[in-house]
Amino acid sequence: MDMGLSGRVAIITGGGGAIGRSIARLLIDEGASVALLDINTEAAEQAKQALLADSPTATIFARACDITDKASVAEATAATETALGPVDILINNAGFSRDMYMLKMQDEDWDVVHDTVLKGTFHCCRAVLPGMMERKWGRIVNMSSMAHLGNKGQTNYSSAKAGLLGLTNALAREAGAFNITVNAVAPGLIATPRLRARKDFDKLEARSLALTPLPRLGLTEDVAKAVLFFVSSMGDFISAQCMNVTGGR
Ligand SMILES: NC(=O)c1ccc[n+]([C@@H]2O[C@H](COP(=O)([O-])OP(=O)(O)OC[C@H]3O[C@@H](n4cnc5c(N)ncnc54)[C@H](O)[C@@H]3O)[C@@H](O)[C@H]2O)c1
């Protein structure tokens, strides 16, 4: 089946990270050009080199971008368009958690999670929307998390990831008339290298397996496949949805 992605240009924020890299892999396999935008320039460049090692003819652009900074997003978007052409697809994937029980949480840890997950997504959407609206085609996917349902120690992260679902639904309604779909993906625990390196990984794995109907942890590729579904021709008439990638939880 033709996924309709050949020649499309995709921005992936947090493209130097584990899930971002897997998303890039699948989009490249379908013939898209990808821009890996990340606050960690080295990670973005390493991801680019690793992807090129597997697909030497792929078109990949890597660039520093801090999505909390509107000017940085504008510059990185303009640089992407100069290098690859107009942006058709935006994957708002950059994000992280700063866990602490609410009464002990520092204001800064609340702010940095919300500024990145929620406001960063707002900045990125606003940078690409005018072009998508003009060309009457766009695909936006926001990386939420199963944590949107609420986890102890994650009032900042859970509220930001839940907020992303509201943003997704509201923007889907605003942008639909321009043939722009806006969807979200909500992964459960995903076995990234960072997670596997944690001292308590065995405990986390056992707890997650006990709660998950499917008999394994989620992989970055599982998340990437959900993203691919939304941005490919399979998702052409699907908007304002959230796909849980949780193994049935
Ligand atoms: N790994 C999981 O279990 C899991 C589960 C649910 C949701 N998620 C979400 O998936 C996304 C990717 O997670 P991951 O596991 O690949 O993490 P990761 O740490 O490997 O990748 C995240 C990337 O985002 C980048 N980033 C952070 N702040 C940024 C900023 N201000 N501007 C630009 N880039 C920035 C980081 O440098 C990093 O490369 C995140 O939004 C995360 O919340 C992950």
pLDDT reported for residue 76: 98
Q: What is the pLDDT of residue 241?
A: 98
Distance 103 CA to ligand 1 centre (A): 25
pLDDT tens-place string over residues 186-239 = 999 999 999 999 999 999 999 999 999 999 999 999 999 999 999 999 999 999
Does the domain at 9-189+219-245 match CATH 3.40.50.720? Answer given as yes
| 95 burial via Cβ count (<10 Å: 0-12, 13-18, 19+) | buried
Give me the pLDDT at residue 68, please: 98
Give dist(CA 68, CA 155) in Å, integer. 20
- pLDDT for 149 equals 98
Residues 13-52 have pLDDT tens digits of 999 999 999 999 999 999 999 999 999 999 999 999 999 9
- Angle, vertex CA 13, rays to CA 10 and CA 17, nearest 5: 115
**Catalytic position from the list 61, 110, 122, 157:** 157
Ligand 1 pocket, residue 43 CB under 6 Å: yes
Helix-strand-coil split of the chain, %, nearest 5: 55, 15, 30
Please tell me whether the overall predicted TM-score, pTM, comes out greater than 0.95 for this model.
yes
Query: Model confidence over 92-131: pLDDT tens digits?
Result: 999 999 999 999 999 999 999 999 999 999 999 999 999 9
84 CA distance to ligand 1 middle (Å): 24
Give residue limits of the domains in the chain.
9-189+219-245
| Any ligand 1 atom below 6 A from CB of 19 | yes
Q: Is the beta carbon of 116 within 6 A of some atom in ligand 1?
A: yes
Walk across the sheet containing 180-187 and list its strands.
Answer: 60-64, 33-38, 9-13, 89-92, 138-143, 180-187, 242-245
Q: CA 182 to CA 84: how far, in whole Å? A: 22
Q: What is the pLDDT of residue 67?
A: 99
Q: Which helix (H) or strand (E) holds 35?
A: strand 33-38
Task: Tell whether ligand 1 has an atom less than 6 A from the beta carbon of residue 13.
Answer: yes
Residue nearest to atom 1 of ligand 1 (CA): 190
pLDDT of residue 223: 98
Would you call 101 a catalytic residue per the annotation?
no
Contact 184, 142 (CB under 8 A): yes
User: If you average pLDDT over residues 68-75, what whole number do you get?
Assistant: 98
The CB of 198 under 6 Å from ligand 1? The reply is no
- Strand, coil or helix: what is 63? strand
67 Cα to the center of ligand 1, angstroms: 12
